[in-house]
Amino acid sequence: MKPSILLAILFLIPLVTISQTGKYHDPFTEDFSDSTSAYFRYGSTGNKTDFKYKLGVSSPTEKNTKILSFKIDPTDSAGAGRGPEIISRKFTHFGTYSARLKVPEVKDIQPNVGAVVGYFTYHVDSIPGLSEIDFEWLLADPSIIYVGTWTGHNGELKRVGRIINMAEGLIYSTVYREDHNEIREALTGMQNQPGQIPALEGFDASKQFYTYGFDWYPDRIRWWMLHPVSGEKITLWDYQGTERGIPQHRSRYRMNFWHTDNWSVHTNPLSTEKPLHPYELEVDWMSYEPFEDTSKQ
């Protein structure tokens, strides 16, 4: 090999390494105390109304707390991404994700509202397909938490998911499904742990801030929340023993708030109404801690 070619290759190696490293977030905690964020960008595809998204504003429900404020626009059309959404500026991968948030309290105002708060990762790569891990709350019944993943390609998506009523300690379902094949399979064994969850008396995701999180490994995902008094970590679902349904490739870290007209909460089949008011989601902070150097993934 000619010396000039060798020098050129050696010169390019650090550039490639820097470029790859720059694609992924280092560990961070965004406390939303400023009017801008170094880690997230705004990404709504709906109406461009200013009130939908504010950073560094005072919480209306918790003194001395600065928040990310999402307000749903009643004139926005239905669909994920139409409402306010933040998206990480760089990719994230295997690691621990956590956030402290309070969903809007609207049951007494509009009991049949069709509105979703999503805390999740989401990214589509052409060959491996979708990489999504999520927490979701439907405002019509904020005692219920939805957790799960989506993998696969458009039109052939696969879901593993669990629906939990935390106030009553009920697990409504833990399933694998492929809608395009009409496959719906109740999960058992290591994919159905814990089999029971103690009730968190009085739990209502709209009454106060709670901390939620998930640990994403190549062969396991554990969703959890912190007990608001003891700080104990409560495992909501520890899905392991298989790679089926576990995203293996990079994603983007996100939070959103949107209107659904075709997904009702488990306990109320009528809850698909368009929101009548600009209900407010409050997010105190979001954090990410990678398990390893994802720049080489």
**What is the CATH classification number for the domain harbouring 168?**
2.60.120.200
21 or 4, which is more confident?
A: 21
Which 3-state string (H, E, C) describes 192-225? HCCCCCCCCCCCCCCCCCEEEEEEEECCEEEEEE
Amino acid letter, 127: I
Domain assignment present for residue 8? The answer is: no
Q: What is the pTM of this model?
A: 0.91
Q: What is the pLDDT of residue 22?
A: 74
Interval 109-127: pLDDT, tens: 999 999 999 999 999 999 9
Any domain includes 16: no
In a domain, 22, yes or no: no
Work out the pLDDT band at 3, boundaries 50, 70, 90.
very low
b/e 94-128 (16+ beta carbons within 10 angstroms → b): bbbbbbbbbbbbbbeebeebbbbbbbbbbbeeeee
Residue whose token pair is 């999503």: 118
What pLDDT, in 10s, does the model give residues 201-238? Answer: 999 999 999 999 999 999 999 999 999 999 999 999 99
> Hey, which bits of the chain come out as E strands?
28-30, 40-42, 53-58, 66-71, 85-88, 95-102, 115-125, 129-138, 144-153, 156-165, 170-178, 183-186, 210-217, 220-226, 233-240, 253-259, 280-290
Query: Rounded to an integer, what distance in angstroms lies between the CA atom of residue 40 and that of residue 32?
Result: 10
Give 11's Cβ-side CA count (13 Å radius).
6
Query: Residue 63 falls within a domain, yes or no?
Result: yes
Show the domain range for 69: 27-296
* Total structural domains within the chain: 1
Q: Tell me the C-alpha distance between 89 and 159, whole Å.
A: 26
Which residue, 43, 40, 42, is CA-closest to 31? 40
Do the bridges between strand 144-153 and strand 85-88 make them parallel or antiparallel, or are there none, so unpaired? unpaired
In a domain, 84, yes or no: yes
Is 59 inside a domain boundary?
yes
Each residue's pLDDT tens digit, 145-175? 999 999 999 999 999 999 999 999 999 999 9
Alpha carbons 228 and 226: distance in angstroms, whole number: 6
Q: For residues 275 and 255, what is the distance between their CA atoms, to the nearest angstrom?
A: 19
17 lies in some domain: no
Q: Is residue 18 part of a domain?
A: no
What region, left, alpha or beta, does residue 98 occupy, with left being phi > 0 and alpha being psi -120 to 50 degrees? beta
